[in-house]
Amino acid sequence: MERKLYSKVRFVQDCDDDYNRIDVVFSGLRDGYCEANSQPVIDYLSEWDGDENELTEEKPRIANYDTSYADQNGVYTLLYNSSVGGCFLLYREASEDEKEWWNDKR
């Protein structure tokens, strides 16, 4: 059985410049608290998906009690964890090129 390989696209925490903007969209602070706004955050963070992503064989996580949100296109997963200050992590399964590079470097 082939192990999965994951590509971490972007990790955002409260010290990042765009954290407040992401948090407002995600939580719907203008309309009351609602974590249902994950897709706009996924769309925004996916703009950082490129050749410099960190690859890992372990399924990504932020901390205990992460909440995950699936991309409507089935590509990305957004993790959110409020217990560590409200962090976001976007990841996806690695592409074939990334898998080939990973296997060649081993």
Q: Concatenated DSSP letters for 60-90?
A: P-SSTT-EEEE-TTSSEEEEEETTTTSEEEE
The residue ranges of every structural domain in the chain are: 6-105
The pLDDT score that the predictor gives to residue 59 is: 95
Tell me the pTM: 0.89
Beta bridge mates, 70: 77
The CA distance from 73 to 75, in Å, is 6
Phi first, then psi, for residue 67 (nearest 5°) are -110, 130
2 alpha carbon, distance to own chain's centre: 23
Residue type present at position 43: D
What is the pLDDT confidence band of residue 57, given thresholds at 50, 70 and 90? very high
